[in-house]
Chain A
Amino acid sequence: MPGVPLADYLAVASALFAVGVIGFLLRRNPITMLMAIELMWNAGNLAFAAFARTFVDFSGQIFVFIVVTVAAAEAAIALAIVVMVFRRRRDVDVDEISELRG
């Protein structure tokens, strides 16, 4: 099939994932970190979809659906946590939220 080769897809997916990782590690705003996590999710999704297309196997596509569902649930919970934290502390800097220190 003419079109984009698999390696290109994987390159884009890797780039997306790297951006997600860097965003997660460097940002201190939990909303931004969540967005970085979404990037990582979607890097994975892109790789899944690319493999599914290349090998003509629908398992990958289906996996993407599941990942999207889980990501939505995760986002909902995470945002709820962020809202609760904000209500209590009037501040959402993740470096300040470290009550679980051992």
Chain B
Amino acid sequence: MEGFVATVPFTILFLPFFGMVLIALAGPYVPRLGAAIVGNLSVLGSFVLTAVLASYVWSLPPDQQVLTLKYPPAWATHPAYWAHIPPLTISFELRIDPLALMWMLIITGVGFLIHLYSIGYMQESKWYRTFFAYMNLFVFAMLMLVMAGNFLWLLVGWAGVGLASYLLIGFDADRMAAVLAARKALIMNVIGDVGIMVAIFLMYAHFGSLSYKVVFANVTSAGTSALDWIGIWLLVGAVAKSAQLPLHTWLPDAMEGPTPVSALIHAATMVTAGVYLIARAHPIYDHAPAAAMTVAVIGCASAFVAATIGMAQYDIKRVLAYSTMSQIGYMILAVGVGAYAAGTFHFVTHAFFKALLFMAAGIIIHNLGGEQDIRKMGGLAKRMPFAFLTFLIGTLAISGFFPFAGFFSKDAILDELQLLGHPWLWAFGSITALLTAYYMFRLVFMTFFTGAYRGDHEPHADRSPTMEVPVAILAVLATIGGWLVLPGHDEMSRLLQGAFGDRGILPTMGEINWFVTGVTTFSAAAGLVIAWWLYERAPQLRRRLATMFAPVQRVLANAYYIDTIYHWLFEVPTLTAASDIAKYVDPEGVGGVIAGVARTTTGLGDAMRGWETGYLRRYGLGMVVGMVLVLAYYIFVVHGGAAVGMR
């Protein structure tokens, strides 16, 4: 078992990486399907090994479930560290514990299903092989992020997923919108990277190490205010990566990427990295109440704000993007108040139902020839029964209907909020649950019902098994995924015990708080009924309301004009400054200096060209005169004429 544990994590981590390298090197020489097979198999291999590793780790007693792998190993006599700048030593360090395993299982498992789906979905893409190389790069970077054993390697993975996200959002490089969205995502994410870097500097200053083990063991040696600052800077990273307020505007735009990318990166895995980071750094947040409260409030505000925006959007993927932001808000809220197990639980179920929703939406978009506007859909339930059924399951799950996955995890979070004494956060969480059910069912009704099909071109319904099998699997998981936590049987807390210790066992999980459960279920049902009433039963009433609340509608449809505000606050000043520099400083200042140097050189050359007469004897005379002058200088000036008797 010793050798198994020492090698398997490295294999899990680097399989997708080698898959990427193989596709990149051999891609042009094999058929398109070859690249897809390599991409799929490498991720599948990682998943199988992760499952084996997970079953091994969870067979150990909870206090031994943290495995640390270091390169160079401790017994090395001449260790070659990654960086050795005394007193700081950084090794290549992996940490496998239940928290990391939970993420690894989702990344490789859901990641594999989405790879499988991409085989069919990306069929018409010009850069089919490149797509799989990028996807493998993403899986590798994401695994690096969650398997890292110190904050430096976490940051490596963190920046790596940012890069993969950038490459994949801008995958259709022919379209300007995709390129701009990719750029926006990269810029926002780099703000987060800087936040984590500052947190790393602070951790080095206070703990002298970046290793989780050392930092978390000595966490109480730093003062509360120091921990608060570290927590806040880590939060900057989490907010940027997880698209929370105020750095969320890149996520809706990121929907310009292909749908499998939206499902894998911008729904199931990458955007939950912020949740992972805060859960991972939980010893810090446990001792930093102000930072933890900030986390919770930002999560709650993001959940609520995103849900309100989601109500007024017409692009099917944008609605899903705002719902992602909203659901991640729930997770951030949960880990902010210390309900780490509940937050992780919601991450798992969300990965199932959100990947499902995106992939079902992908089937619709695929069959409508790229149409994403729900105003041009409608009546699709009969034409695409498979997509309808799976999308409905996803919607029931995200809205929190019993017995679908979202019910259990959302309920767990709201239970914790009530139990830990946060009535306001709980209230907003419950209202958000209502809004979620409303906008998701609005989406369902507008897409699949509300009379006849409103699109321009006839939908074709080609069915490909590689696309439908993963969706079906996810539909099953979105249905039963929540059953990890049943009354009296809390599998989630048991699994996470090794990562969070006592904080992992949350008393209410697995118990029924009838009040909270009742409110949650009522909210979901109310959202469903309102959506049904407004879109199916009484469209005139909806139109009347729409004219009555037109200003509100406009604000929501424009996402509170946050993009516009950022445009005037940051973009315009920067661009103005840049163009002014280009107009004045560059030609006059920099250009002036360079032109001046050129003019001086030319002038000197012109002045001196007269000396070059071409007469050898004149040069000789010049040398003689020079020699005489040098001699005279030495004799009369340096030695004061002593040699010729002048002294």
In the bound complex, residues from chain A placing their C-beta under 8 Å from that of B612 are 100-102
Q: Are B617 and A102 in contact (CB under 8 A)?
A: no
Q: Is the CB of A24 closer than 8 A to any CB of chain B?
A: yes
- Among the listed B611, B620, B624, which residue makes an inter-chain contact with A102, where contact means beta carbons less than 8 Å apart? B611
Q: Is the interface of A mostly helix, strand, loop or mixed?
A: loop
Q: Are A25 and B611 in contact (CB under 8 A)?
A: no
Q: Are A25 and B614 in contact (CB under 8 A)?
A: no
* Chain A CB within 10 A, most for which of B612, B613, B615, B621: B615
What is the CB-to-nearest-CB distance from A82 to chain B, in angstroms, rounded to a whole number?
A: 12
Answer whether A98 and B617 are a contact pair too, CB < 8 Å, given A21-B624, A25-B624: no
Q: Are B624 and A101 in contact (CB under 8 A)?
A: no
Q: 1/0 contact trace for B617-647 toward A, CB 8 Å?
A: 1001100100000000000000000000000
Give Cα A98–Cα B617 distance, bound, in whole angstroms. Answer: 11
Give Cα A95–Cα B608 distance, bound, in whole angstroms. Answer: 21
In the bound complex, residues from chain A placing their C-beta under 8 Å from that of B616 are 33, 94-95, 97-98
Q: Chain A: how many interface residues by the 8 Å CB criterion?
A: 13
In the bound complex, residues from chain B placing their C-beta under 8 Å from that of A24 are 617, 620
In the bound complex, residues from chain A placing their C-beta under 8 Å from that of B610 are 102
Q: Is the CB of A53 closer than 8 A to any CB of chain B?
A: no
CB < 8 Å A-B pair total = 35
Give Cα A94–Cα B615 distance, bound, in whole angstroms. Answer: 7
In the bound complex, residues from chain A placing their C-beta under 8 Å from that of B613 are 98, 101-102
What is the CB-to-nearest-CB distance from A20 to chain B, in angstroms, rounded to a whole number?
A: 10
Give Cα A97–Cα B615 distance, bound, in whole angstroms. Answer: 7
Q: Is the CB of B609 closer than 8 A to any CB of chain A?
A: yes
Q: Are A95 and B615 in contact (CB under 8 A)?
A: yes
What is the CB-to-nearest-CB distance from A15 to chain B, in angstroms, rounded to a whole number?
A: 16
Give Cα A95–Cα B624 distance, bound, in whole angstroms. Answer: 18
B610 and chain A: residue at smallest CB distance: A102
Q: 1/0 contact trace for A82-102 toward B, CB 8 Å?
A: 000000000000110111111
Q: Are B617 and A28 in contact (CB under 8 A)?
A: yes
What is the CB-to-nearest-CB distance from B234 to chain A, in angstroms, rounded to a whole number?
A: 69
Q: 1/0 contact trace for A6-18 toward B, CB 8 Å?
A: 0000000000000
Q: Are A25 and B620 in contact (CB under 8 A)?
A: yes
What is the CB-to-nearest-CB distance from B607 to chain A, in angstroms, rounded to a whole number?
A: 11
- Among the listed A21, A28, A98, which residue makes an inter-chain contact with B614, where contact means beta carbons less than 8 Å apart? A98
Q: Are A25 and B609 in contact (CB under 8 A)?
A: no
Q: Are B615 and A102 in contact (CB under 8 A)?
A: no
Give Cα A98–Cα B619 distance, bound, in whole angstroms. Answer: 11
Q: Are A25 and B617 in contact (CB under 8 A)?
A: yes
Q: Are B617 and A94 in contact (CB under 8 A)?
A: yes
Q: 1/0 contact trace for B584-620 toward A, CB 8 Å?
A: 0000000000000000000000001111111111001
Footprint of A on B, CB under 8 Å? 608-617, 620-621, 624
20 A-B residue pairings within 8 Å (CB atoms): A24-B617, A25-B617, A25-B620, A25-B621, A25-B624, A33-B617, A94-B615, A94-B616, A94-B617, A95-B616, A98-B614, A100-B612, A100-B614, A101-B612, A101-B613, A101-B614, A102-B608, A102-B612, A102-B613, A102-B614
14 additional A-B pairs beyond A21-B624, A98-B616, A102-B613, beta carbons within 8 Å, are A25-B620, A33-B617, A94-B616, A94-B617, A95-B615, A95-B616, A98-B613, A98-B614, A99-B614, A102-B608, A102-B609, A102-B610, A102-B611, A102-B612
